[in-house]
A and B are shown apart, each in its own frame.
With several copies, the nearest count.
Chain A
Amino acid sequence: MAANHQAHEHHRHDEPESDITLRVKALESILVSKGLVDPQALDMLIDTYEHRVGPHIGAKVVARAWSDPAYKRRLLEDGTAAVNELGFPPGPEGINLIVLENTPKVHNVVVCTLCSCYPWGTLGLPPVWYKSPAYRARAVGDPRGVLREFGTELDDDVEIRVWDSSAEVRYLVLPERPPGTERMTEEELAGLVTRDSMIGVAKAKSPKAGARKRPGNGRAEHRV
């Protein structure tokens, strides 16, 4: 079986890194010279999305909801307000956040089939896989196959609800709190909440499997 031909073949070889680098440089330079892009604002914006916003925000929100039933109620009722409550704007776009609760009987998965809509304010920028044609194509038609690819096996009697974010609301999945976490602090709990679990392609980590690592599947490593 032809395993991973996607990775290299889907990038056209006629567009080497240096060409696209030149393309973006030319664009930046004309826009700066026309006064449409302020270089300082640009640097600040990049810094925000590369270093400040990320899945650690969502993890904090989830851990709070796991620890505080009243907060969880508010979060499910008005995601935007409840995330704001913790000091985070729900997204630069001023859009509404809706939080979807996973239970033993209902599993939610988020996708954007038409482009790449994603809750930037609570999860940062989406990973490549979320934006890939493969995920966008299959998440709505074959969510069980997709979850299996992520190592997430669900019983047949679990109802899967896929959310295709085609408008200006953004969705965040509230994963189930893993068993065996009764005595963990909120900060420890946040360490179990991965980005993938808040998109809905995975469950939160179980406490044995490295509870104390930072959330975000690589965010942490990248920052070091």
Chain B
Amino acid sequence: MNGVHDLGGMHGFGPIPREENEPVFHADWERRMYGIARILLNQRVFTLDEYRHSIERIPPSVYLGAKYYEKWAIGATGLLLEKGIIKPSDLKGVKPINLNPTFSLSAKARGDSIFKHPSRAVKARFKPGDKVIARNVNPRGHTRLPRYVRGKRGTIQFDEGVFALPDANAHGGGMILQHVYSVRFAARELWGPEAPARDSVAIDLWEQYLEPEPARSSNGRGRNGRGRR
């Protein structure tokens, strides 16, 4: 989903809001909300993938204006309502904020663990040093492939092991197990020729987000985009 949560590379949010002597929680409702969400996740009432996607589906102006744990509250409430675990009347007059529906709601299906799986059973398509391109895809559902790397050329740094694909697991699509790789992209490949020459961004990408980089043309579009000048 190309939502406002996909913030990498955006401008216009002003200075970073730092707070001296920041407490862990700023109010009691934050404390409670953190604990409630953790317990619901621990008990697999919903999966972390479903929960992340519910937060992504908060209306954009609300998402950008809300406090952090407020988003947790809106997302959790919306998800519990969608799954039929609670009813609007259970909320005692508190009006829930509707989440944006997607083409496939999480519905009643329970997803499963997001954590590392034994990797023996799943073959790895890539190895460290391989040149890859992040696919140019624009799924309407949950994905952990952010817009700023799509279509860009990077290098596999290391294999992180086997994990369930969030794109499926967030929508009751079950456990599609894939290798996840740390992929490094030159800052110039991502942001253009004005970026510092040596800086880079590494990001963790599921195997299906990647394809092998086709062999270079002889007149040279370099890996880090300098060839494009």
Contacts and interface: CB of A to CB of B under 8 A. Distances in A.
The answer to A–B direct touch (Cβ < 8 A) is yes
A166 to B, nearest CB: 5
A53 B73 CA distance: 23
B83 to A, nearest CB: 11
A138 B45 CA distance: 33
Given A24-B36, A42-B32, A49-B34, A113 B146 contact: yes
A120 B17 CA distance: 21
Nearest to A195: B22
Given A6-B15, A141-B148, A162-B201, A41 B24 contact: no
Q: How large is the interface on B (under 10, 10 to 19, 20 to 34, 35 or more residues)?
A: 35 or more
Given A96-B160, A128-B22, A12 B62 contact: yes
B22 A36 contact: no
Contacts of B114: 93, 168
A222 B163 CA distance: 37
Nearest to A222: B23
A114 B146 contact: yes
A166 B92 CA distance: 37
Contacts of B161: 96
A178 interface: no
Given A38-B39, A162-B200, A146 B20 contact: no
A9 interface: yes
Interface of A: 1-7, 9-12, 15, 17, 20-31, 34, 36-38, 41-43, 45-46, 49-50, 54, 92-96, 113-116, 124-125, 127-129, 131-138, 140-141, 143-144, 146, 149-150, 156-157, 159-169, 217-219, 221-222
B215 interface: no
Contacts of B163: 167-168
B109 interface: no
Interface string B149-163: 000000000001101
B70 A20 contact: yes
A130 to B, nearest CB: 9
Contacts of B7: 113-114, 133, 136-137
Nearest to B30: A24
Contacts of B190: 140-141
A161 B160 CA distance: 18
Contacts, number: 273
Interface of B: 2, 5-29, 31-36, 38-40, 43, 45, 52, 55, 59-62, 64-68, 70, 73, 76-77, 80, 85-86, 90-94, 97-101, 105, 114-116, 138, 144-146, 148, 160-161, 163, 180, 182, 184, 187, 190-191, 196, 198-206
A100 B178 CA distance: 24
Given A42-B35, A160-B199, A166 B90 contact: no
Contacts of B116: 94-96, 168
B183 to A, nearest CB: 10
Contacts of A127: 18-19, 22
A8 to B, nearest CB: 10
Contacts of A24: 29, 32-33, 36, 73
